[in-house]
Amino acid sequence: MSSPIFWTPDKDRFIYQHYPDGGASAVVPYLDGVSPGRIKNRAGVLGVKMTEKAKRAAHSASVRRVEPPSELSKLLAARW
């Protein structure tokens, strides 16, 4: 089990300042040793939410479109 985090007003200030525009990944550099999951949990307790623009950016970064190999279409065409 991980050690407890003692949240101070200074740590909360980083969440208030940086979480809305970049989520937990924007706060991690300022809070050494605190996981993104704990930061998300604390942001929820504080009532801090990401902006819609930041949510879209985070989603588009996690969903990457990859072109299928050109051989795949040839294999599928040969089978059908």
- pLDDT tens profile 11-54: 999 999 999 999 999 999 999 889 999 999 999 999 999 999 88
pLDDT of residue 76: 77
As a whole number of angstroms, the distance between CA 31 and CA 33 comes to 6
Q: What is the three-class DSSP state of 3?
A: coil
pLDDT of residue 36: 92
Tens digits of residue pLDDT in 61-71: 666 667 767 78
Q: Which amino acid is at 15?
A: I
For the entire predicted model, the pTM comes to 0.68
Q: Residue 17: which H helix or E strand, with range? A: helix 9-22
Q: Give the number of other CB atoms < 10 A from CB of residue 44.
A: 10
For 6-35, b/e burial (b = at least 16 CB within 10 A) is: eeeeebeebbeebbbeebbebbbeebeebe
